[in-house]
Amino acid sequence: MMPRTLALAGALGLFVLVGGCTDSTAPAATNDTTFDIDLRWVGTKPTGTVATAFDAAAARIEEIILNDLQAAKVGSKEAPFDLTKCSASMTGTSALDEIVDDLVIYAKVEAIDGVGKTLGSAGPCLTRVTGGLTVVGIMRFDSADLTDLANKGRLNAVVLHEMLHIVGVGTLWRRRGILADSGLATVRVTGPLAATACVSDHGGTTACQGGAVPAENCLDLDAALTCGVGTIDSHWKESVFQGELMTGYLQTNNPLSKMTLQSLADLGYIVRLTTAEPYTVPTPPVAIGAGAMGASLRAASEELIVLGAPMAPRFVVDELGRTTPIRYR
């Protein structure tokens, strides 16, 4: 399979926002007690298995996260928020002036470059000033790749993986202060609940010793896997965790572990741990060394899906709906 890499700022066109038109007359979000995802399609809404996969992923995350987040004002009548500030692919959407409860996801499926190469990307666009959790996220994918993944029975895992990036897995670690040694070989996630789950629930005593979960550093992966800036620091380490859903590469089976759910708790969500899937950290661990994991993954290349790079959050929105760009050093 051809490796796929991020190309979020790809070809642009004019698109009509379907089912998500927002303006100053939009009703305020209802105040409730559950975590709700408002999935809005940009451009033509896909049909069949593709649409079903997005709905299923949103429902899965609504099942996982228990707490209603504080409603967040986004934009104002005087200064509505333009989504193209986060991604040029959002051209044609209405600028936002609304109250969000709890998370709005703008999804776009369009022809990009055929099967292979660019799969697409996803991530937070706006995050809350208090608590730092995502208010608005963006997903954009190549329709040919999604059809191909659906035919292979892999689509649901890919869409859920990408939607979990919007919620915060891999994308909010740094902002929330639980990513240590970013960019270094020792990069790791120091969220205590995830680290404990790694050891206590998944047999990762060696993998997660020292109270941290190893994050991807690309050092054990073959260059042919295009491990790079989009994979590094934002996924669990492939050579350690392999099949787990939130590594940068999907294999045949990709369980959503209690470790990943607890990493959401480390970010500030309240999670329903009983929704985790059985998962065991592979033993013995894959040998550490350049290319060691590459051989293993090449052997399974028919089943390997190289995911798109997640998008880091771009803006913080305050209680008055005002947005401030996030600056990364």
The site for Zn ion, by CB under 5 A, has a size of 1
User: Which part of the chain contacts Zn ion (CB under 5 A), choosing from 63-71, 176-184, 288-296, 304-312?
Assistant: 304-312
CA 36 to chain centre: 17
d(CA 150, CA 21): 29
CA 103 to chain centre: 13
- Of the candidates 307, 312, 316, 317, which one interacts with Zn ion according to CB under 5 A? 307
| Smallest distance from Zn ion to CB 203, Å | 24
Residue 231 phi/psi, 5° resolution?
Answer: -95, -35
Q: Per rule CB under 5 A, is residue 305 in the interface with Zn ion?
A: no
Q: Per rule CB under 5 A, is residue 157 in the interface with Zn ion?
A: no
CA 321 to chain centre: 24
User: Which part of the chain contacts Zn ion (CB under 5 A), choosing from 22-30, 266-274, 301-309, 311-319?
Assistant: 301-309
| Smallest distance from Zn ion to CB 96, Å | 25
| Smallest distance from Zn ion to CB 231, Å | 7
Nearer CB in complex with Zn ion: 42/307: 307
User: Which part of the chain contacts Zn ion (CB under 5 A), choosing from 19-27, 181-189, 203-211, 299-307?
Assistant: 299-307
d(CA 169, CA 181): 17
CA distances (Å), 99 to each of 123, 129, 285, in order?
A: 20, 15, 47
Pairing verdict, β 103-110 and 213-214: unpaired
Cβ proximity of 239 and 220 under 8 Å: yes
CA distances (Å), 109 to each of 15, 54, 232, 283, in order?
A: 11, 11, 25, 38
Q: Per rule CB under 5 A, is residue 245 in the interface with Zn ion?
A: no
Indicate the residue whose CB is closest to Zn ion: 307
| Smallest distance from Zn ion to CB 165, Å | 6
| Smallest distance from Zn ion to CB 138, Å | 14
- Contacting residues toward Zn ion, per CB under 5 A: 307
